[in-house]
Structure 1
Amino acid sequence: MPNPISHDQNFKNLILDYSHQALEFFAASEAAHINPGAQITPIRQEQLKNRLGDRFHELDVPLLVEWPDGRRDALLFVLEEETSPQRFSIHRLAHYCLELSEMYGTSRVVPVVIFLRDARRLPTRLQLGGDQLTYLSFQYLKCDLAQLDASHYLDSQNLVARLNLPNMRWPEEQKVDIYAHAMSGLFSLEPDPEKQLKYIDFIDIYTALDDNQMHEYQQRYPQENSKMTGLTERLLQEGIQQGMQQGMQQGSLSVLLRQITRRFGPLDSSTRQRLQQATEHELECWTDNILDAQTLDDVFVCH
């Protein structure tokens, strides 16, 4: 049985890999004031878990935005992805933001909720009060992906926006084109081959082309398809070569262990650890030494 898709983890990875662009897309009104010199730092989960205990939200992503020149006070963004709108609780989010505000001694907190499904009916404001006054007022930035018009982002230079094209609103007959625009954005905006491969999976998951649609894509967009095929073959070949190299090194280690044990008896744990951590060059040197070595120390001398 296939593992269920972890949408929370997918979006957490996306936000951590592309923090600047994620804020520009998911929290545009607040991110407009974040200049390129600002530093964006994810708050470590261990730190939050130690301080918040059971109140810790593992799959929320707090990002601390700081200005090294001191022109503005730090700003704490709290991003939360919700796959099913009915699971969302504005009370829980407000409580979490208050916890973080107290923990970091700041009132500059921006809560952002990314909805994967239609969330038009959900409240965006919480007010607590009596007949005379409102004593607590809370609201959050809402990014309702299903309500965004994909046509506005087809040629966006924001990679997070391009990757999320499949999650936006578009006519069903444009599904293959949406997939193509997401793919072309990935290849033009992300130079790292490993991240390209990682986010091909992201696009595949959220577009979910069937066999006929994939065949149509391959026919209509041969250039993008060749890039995808070439990338997969390249990384596969690199993986095979790396595996062969690791296999040969492991084989050399096994032979050397047997030879040393036969010459000098059983090895202690520190010597075994030294052998296991050896480089390829060291293994070659020590293997040559074993023939003439009079003591165990002689084996480990490399000139």
Structure 2
Amino acid sequence: MSSSNPSSQSGPLADVAKAGSGPSPGHAQGRGASQAPRRLSLCNDVVFKTLFSLHPHLLSDLINAVRYPAAPITVQRILNPHILPQDLAGKDIVLDILAEDDSGRRIAIEMQLQRFRHWPQRSVYGVARSLAGQLQLGQNYRELKPVIGISLLAHTLFTDHPAKADWHFTLRDTQFPQIQLGQALQMHIIELRKAETLGKLPAPLLAWIACLLHNLDEAVMNEITHEPVKEALAHLDTLYSDEELRLMAERREQALVDAEDMLDQARYEGEQKGLQKGLQKGIQQGLEQQRQVLLRMLERKFGPMPQHYQVRLSQAGAEQLQTWSLNVLDAQRIEDVFN
């Protein structure tokens, strides 16, 4: 998902912008504002998809960095290179890249900044759908090619495992995990921020992670030596001059910020309703306690309460209960209390 100016929002979008400690798009640091190149944030999924769709060899390098030490692949074509107008405004749209390698395998890559409550289910469903969508009527299962899902997450998914940030899932037996049911479904997940902190991954992958999180920070980018990432930065500088792409990226970014603001507002309204509901519940509980105390006082002084007085007592408000409680002190008969 897209990144944003940290001063304009809170939540996962702002976290990534702050993590980059860089300026807003178009204002890099490190060499001075006049000398630093202007570029778009690679975390913006519009920019992410545009860059790697235009330069499949860079996508191949990113995929190989994630899948290392598996045999390298070469992306032959991008199956969904276009960005539709509705993709820019849809907060639930995932602008993933669906690629095909030289052996016919499909690789689905997504840059994910936002948290989704059911993200694992959605991600598995997307990979499974890509697998199922390969075969047409009359085709044989032997023609089915594996599908590899790659998700680059700016947030931490597996909070109970702080020492691991790169994950690879396949269909494996629970008792003998070394035995797997083919390679048809594969999923790679990289928790970017955790991976950067741990620093235990191969150098090419760490270079891509730094680029994804900090490509607006020129000082950080000057430390990168991995040539494909350096080439990607050069392309990002060039893409900045594409006014249409800049506007698309800004529109996408604003849509995600608006969606997060709507969620914040919904949470706030829910909290207020909860507080109001809790207050009303507390008032009712207090009134009921007053009724019970007054009932015990009346029964202690006058004996069992007649039914019609019990009904009046159950419907009385705080002020009426207070008046009746004072009347008990001087009343000679129960009628004197309620009159």
When normalised by structure 1's length, the TM-score is 0.30
Higher helix content, 1 or 2: 1
Higher relative contact order (CA 8 A, sep 6+): 2
Output the TM-score relative to the length of structure 2. Answer: 0.27
User: Which protein has the larger Cα radius of gyration, Structure 1 or Structure 2?
Assistant: 2
